[in-house]
């Protein structure tokens, strides 16, 4: 199982709620999390997920992600 990490501009729990449907669709429910305590708001994704699909899904909700 692959682990991907992304720096995001997701800032709060309301932001997480907004991106949840898109991330659940791309990565699967329970396969991702956002560390809101980290200043870079790190999104960690487990599994076989396409980096480009994930970034595109987040952009569709108004958020950015860059792989770290």
Boundaries of every domain in the chain: 3-67
Q: Round the average pLDDT of the chain to a whole number and report it.
A: 93
Q: Does domain 3-67 have CATH number 2.70.160.11?
A: no
CA separation (Å) from 52 to 26, 34, 67? 10, 18, 10
Contact in structure between 64 and 19 (CB atoms under 8 Å): no
Give the residue-averaged pLDDT of 13-35: 94
- Does 1 score more than 80 pLDDT? no
- Does 7 score more than 90 pLDDT? yes
Contact in structure between 23 and 55 (CB atoms under 8 Å): no
């Amino acid at each position: 199982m692959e682990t991907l990490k992304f720096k995001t501009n997701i800032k709060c729990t309301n932001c997480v709620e907004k991106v949840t449907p898109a991330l659940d669709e791309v990565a699967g429910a329970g396969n991702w999390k956002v560390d809101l305590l980290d200043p870079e708001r790190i999104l960690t994704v487990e599994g076989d997920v396409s980096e480009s699909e994930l970034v595109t899904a987040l952009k569709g909700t108004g958020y950015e992600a860059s792989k770290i």
